[in-house]
């Protein structure tokens, strides 16, 4: 019976992603927590879920040459070691109970930041900034890798926002493609790391995938019927509220 609820949760998140392009990891983990899933299982399962669902999109964007591989490489130079190091620290800490509050606090902070990014996403591109991105991207990547390994949130929306900020002339299609391609190895490595730590529920994972895969397609078809700004506003308020509750709690 529980599998039905997980399929519905996967469908809900998939529909949101299909409608707006955002809300995957940031919405899935709070939903799993609402179902009573322990936070370490929610984070670990969501990471593998994100990596698997984005793989198809990464292949498609690569095929259509919507990927800046130099940016992917610079981000991964920091994000992959950051995620691996974080997972190593978690394994040294010991049982999930020992680092549960760390995961909860990090998740709360990342949800608040993600909500802010969703709200101001359309204004970010107008920011005029000129930074030496050859060192900014690996540093951002390292911080992102740490945050994603601890919360499962940020690989999508935060990376896209940073790319818009540093590369205002980069085509939207390339920002999306580069973001997705970078997110796949990051979330898969972090997800398999959590699997090694015993933080992945595969029955839950498959149930989520069964619901989300068709729902994403449906959401994409319905995208023109529901104003995107309304959905994003509701999503932002929801994430902000959950993030504040988790961060303070």
Residue 14: alpha-carbon gap to chain centroid: 13
**Helix-then-strand count for the chain, H and E:** 10, 0
Residue-level pLDDT at 217? 76
pLDDT given at position 115: 82
Q: What dihedral angle (degrees, nearest 10) is formed by the CA atoms of 189, 192, 194, 195?
A: 180
* Entry pTM: 0.86
pLDDT of residue 125: 58
Q: CB burial class (10 A; 0-12, 13-18, 19+) of residue 130? A: exposed
Chain position carrying tokens 């498959």: 206
Q: How do the pLDDT tens digits run along the chain, 249 residues long? A: 678 889 988 888 888 776 666 667 788 898 899 889 999 999 999 999 988 888 878 888 888 888 999 999 999 999 999 999 999 999 999 889 889 989 999 999 888 888 888 777 766 655 555 555 678 899 999 999 999 999 998 888 888 888 888 887 888 788 888 988 999 999 999 999 999 999 999 999 999 999 988 887 787 677 667 676 776 676 677 777 777 766 665
């Amino acid at each position: 019976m529980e599998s039905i609820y997980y399929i519905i949760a996967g469908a809900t998140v998939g529909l949101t992603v299909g409608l707006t392009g955002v809300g995957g990891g940031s919405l899935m983990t709070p939903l799993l927590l609402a179902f009573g899933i322990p936070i370490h299982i929610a984070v670990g399962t969501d990471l593998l879920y994100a990596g698997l669902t984005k793989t198809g999109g990464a292949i498609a964007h690569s095929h259509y040459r919507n990927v800046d591989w130099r940016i992917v490489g610079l981000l991964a130079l920091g994000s992959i070691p950051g995620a691996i190091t974080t997972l190593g620290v978690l394994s040294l800490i010991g049982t999930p109970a020992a680092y549960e509050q760390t995961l909860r606090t990090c998740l709360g902070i990342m949800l608040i930041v993600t909500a802010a990014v969703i709200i101001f996403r359309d204004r970010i591109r107008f920011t005029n900034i000129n930074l030496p991105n050859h060192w900014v991207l690996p540093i951002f990547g390292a911080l992102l890798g740490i945050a994603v390994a601890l919360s499962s949130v940020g690989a999508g929306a935060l990376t896209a926002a940073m790319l818009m900020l540093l590369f205002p002339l980069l085509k939207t299609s390339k920002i999306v493609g580069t973001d997705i391609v970078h997110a796949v190895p990051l979330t898969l490595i972090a997800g398999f790391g959590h699997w090694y730590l015993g933080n992945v529920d595969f029955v839950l994972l498959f149930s989520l995938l069964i619901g989300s895969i068709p729902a994403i397609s449906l959401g994409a078809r319905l995208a023109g019927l529901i104003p995107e700004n309304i959905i994003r506003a509701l999503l932002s308020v929801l994430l902000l509220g959950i993030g504040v509750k988790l961060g303070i709690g």
